[in-house]
């Protein structure tokens, strides 16, 4: 079988959501191929170490002749600021010759493309990691009106309904978009209903990653069920 495009992902070993959601959005037209990096806890040391392994993982993905690679750990990308995630993508590209995205930067680009400068943020993270996310977004030019996390490491176990309730709770009237952080958070099935409920775009780690990967490849296709981002940006 020949696919239109082959998408490469680098994910923490415990992530069970990103591949699934990208495969659903790809809808059989594109294939998704992943490499895993050992990861069992969101400590600062672990998250920073993950990023140092990205280029090596990307070299193995290159064997599959993927068209684009995404480093898909949101927190590992935002932890040290916008310059760090740019460094990670450049290291992947230098190691493989394949264009690369980093989820944290992809989300920032998606919000800019939607012309959203004031955002509310929902996440699974503990307070210290949410504060680093706030700092990242502010350094990237956004005003964070509210941010709240669930303080759980069991990201994939949180139901979409609970995530939707959290996103609605953090929304503020002045917010121009909602960002739901974490590529191990099940969000695809709630994007459209949340946008209808809140009357504004919803950007998630996985949806934003796919959007950026396709835009890197010059592909502006609509993705049914994946929200206003694919229709408007």
pLDDT digits (tens, 9 = 90+) for 70-104: 999 999 899 889 999 899 999 999 999 999 999 99
CATH no. for 5-102+206-232: 3.40.50.12500
pLDDT tens digits for range 7-21: 999 999 999 999 999
In this structure, CATH architecture of domain 106-205: 3-Layer(aba) Sandwich (3.40)
Strand order in the sheet with 100-102: 30-37, 5-12, 68-71, 100-102
Average pLDDT value for residue range 212-232: 95
Equal fold, 5-102+206-232 vs 106-205: yes
Pick the residue with more confidence: 2 or 26?
Answer: 26
Average pLDDT score, the chain:
95
- Res 41: pLDDT: 78
Average pLDDT value for residue range 122-138: 96
The secondary structure of the chain as a DSSP string is ---SEEEEEEEETT--SHHHHHHHHHTTSEEEEEEEE------HHHHHHHHHTHHHHHHHHGGGT-SEEEE--HHHHHTT-HHHHHHHHHHHHHHHSS-EEEHHHHHHHHHHHTT--EEEEEES--HHHHHHHHHHHHHTT-EEEEEEE---S-GGGS-HHHHHHHHHHH--TT-SEEEE--TTS--GGGHHHHHHHHTS-EEEHHHHHHHHHHHHTT-----TTS-HHHHH-
pLDDT level of residue 233 (50, 70, 90 thresholds): confident
Average pLDDT value for residue range 144-151: 96
Q: Is the pLDDT of residue 119 over 80?
A: yes
pLDDT level of residue 2 (50, 70, 90 thresholds): low
Beta-carbon contacts of 188 under 8 Å, excluding residues fewer than 6 positions away, are: 21, 24, 25, 204, 206, 207, 225, 226
pLDDT level of residue 1 (50, 70, 90 thresholds): low
Beta-carbon contacts of 24 under 8 Å, excluding residues fewer than 6 positions away, are: 188
Q: Is the pLDDT of residue 3 over 90?
A: no
Q: Is the pLDDT of residue 212 over 60?
A: yes
Query: Could you tell me the pTM of the whole model?
Result: 0.95
pLDDT level of residue 153 (50, 70, 90 thresholds): confident
Domain map (residue ranges) of the chain: 5-102+206-232, 106-205
- Res 139: pLDDT: 97
């Amino acid at each position: 079988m020949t696919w239109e495009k082959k998408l490469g992902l680098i994910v923490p070993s415990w992530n069970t959501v990103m591949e699934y959601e990208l495969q659903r959005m790809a809808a059989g037209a594109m294939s998704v191929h992943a490499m895993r990096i050992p990861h069992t806890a969101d400590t600062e040391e672990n998250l920073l170490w993950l990023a140092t392994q990205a280029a090596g993982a990307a070299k193995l993905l290159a064997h599959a002749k993927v068209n684009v690679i995404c480093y898909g750990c949101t927190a590992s990308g935002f932890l040290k600021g916008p310059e760090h995630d740019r460094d990670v993508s450049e290291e992947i590209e230098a190691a493989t010759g394949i264009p690369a995205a980093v989820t944290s930067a992809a989300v920032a680009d998606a919000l800019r493309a939607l012309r959203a400068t004031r955002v509310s943020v929902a996440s699974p993270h503990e307070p210290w990691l949410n504060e680093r996310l706030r700092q990242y977004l502010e350094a990237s030019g956004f005003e964070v009106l509210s941010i709240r996390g669930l303080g759980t490491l069991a990201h994939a176990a949180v139901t979409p309904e609970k995530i939707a309730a959290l996103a609605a709770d953090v929304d503020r009237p002045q917010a121009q978009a909602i960002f739901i952080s974490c590529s191990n958070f099940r969000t695809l099935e709630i994007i459209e209903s949340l946008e209808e409920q809140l009357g504004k775009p919803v950007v998630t780690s996985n949806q934003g990653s796919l959007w950026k990967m396709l835009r890197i490849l010059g592909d502006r296709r609509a993705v049914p069920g994946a929200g206003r981002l694919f229709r408007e940006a």
